[in-house]
Amino acid sequence: MNPIILAVIIVSATGLVLGLILAIASIIMAVPVDEKAEAIQEVLAGANCGACGYSGCAGYAAALSKGETTECTLCSPGGPDCAAAVAEILGLAAGEMKPMTAVVKCHGTPDKCDNAMNYVGDLSCKTASQLFGGPKACNYGCLGLGDCVKACPYDALSIVDGIAKVDPLACKACKMCIKTCPKGIIELVPLFELKTVNFCMNKDKGNMTSKQCSVGCIGCMKCVKACEFDAIHVEDNKAAVDYDKCTGCGKCVEGCPKHCLELVTLGCEK
């Protein structure tokens, strides 16, 4: 037989055998596709932010598909439309989704809170905070170096007068800034609702806080006594507001001697 023809036959036979082996292997080792999970993932926001409490959009979609959770409203970036789409796929009621926005709970601008030292180094809040808590006199104040700004996928944060500020209407409540802030001073607050917000997270005793910042909460309890709805308590030497109980009456704000409590309707003009 012609050597060339023989070589072609051998190569063809080898290719056929290998092809059959690969076909059989693909059937045996095939990973089952969860079509419902894929459909859910397509309607999610795709931010992979973890705000839902799962390992990204795929994790949340898988949990919904398997019935591990029936909460259709956990995708904050997707909003009500996303919740409705997920509920339709699952044949469930979407439920009410309360809009939220992130808030940087610090008003310690340079004119209200001095620096304890000059910081020269990497312009990162995380890095600066590792050096005695950062340059600010208040160890709980915003350092204003922009880690949260860089972390936000929706361009909802900016640095204004040395403090990070959130645009409530641009914020999707994805919690990326909350996870990034080394000071832990960013919190989710109801959107379009009149609520009292304490713009101070200082946990030191009142006399020390007053030395650090002119608008620092001193835990004086006046707001607690003024509130008729049990919506505010002093925890760790600072006032903490229960937004579910707060009616926005403003009596706590009127009695605050340090003006760290503010009555705001985030997302609307004051």
Average pLDDT, the chain: 92
**Residue 23's pLDDT is what?**
81
The pTM of the whole model exceeds 0.85: no
Share of the chain above pLDDT 70, in %: 98
- Mean per-residue pLDDT, 165-188: 96
DSSP the chain: --HHHHHHHHHHHHHHHHHHHHHHHHHHTPPPP-HHHHHHHHHS------TTSSSHHHHHHHHHHHTS---TT--TTTHHHHHHHHHHHHT--------EEEEE-----TTTS-BSS---S-S-HHHHHTTTT-SBSSTTS---S-HHHHH-TT--EEEETTEEEE-TTT-----HHHHH-TT--EEEEESSSEEEEE-----S-HHHHHHH-TT-----SHHHHH-SSS-EEEETTEEEE-TTT-----HHHHH-SS--EEEEETTS--
pLDDT score of 270 more than 60 = no
As a CATH number, domain 100-265 is: 3.30.70.20
- Mean per-residue pLDDT, 81-100: 92
Domain residue spans in the chain?
35-90, 100-265
pLDDT digits (tens, 9 = 90+) for 105-123: 999 999 999 999 999 889 9
Fold classification of 35-90 is: 3-methyladenine DNA Glycosylase II; Chain A, domain 3 (1.10.15)
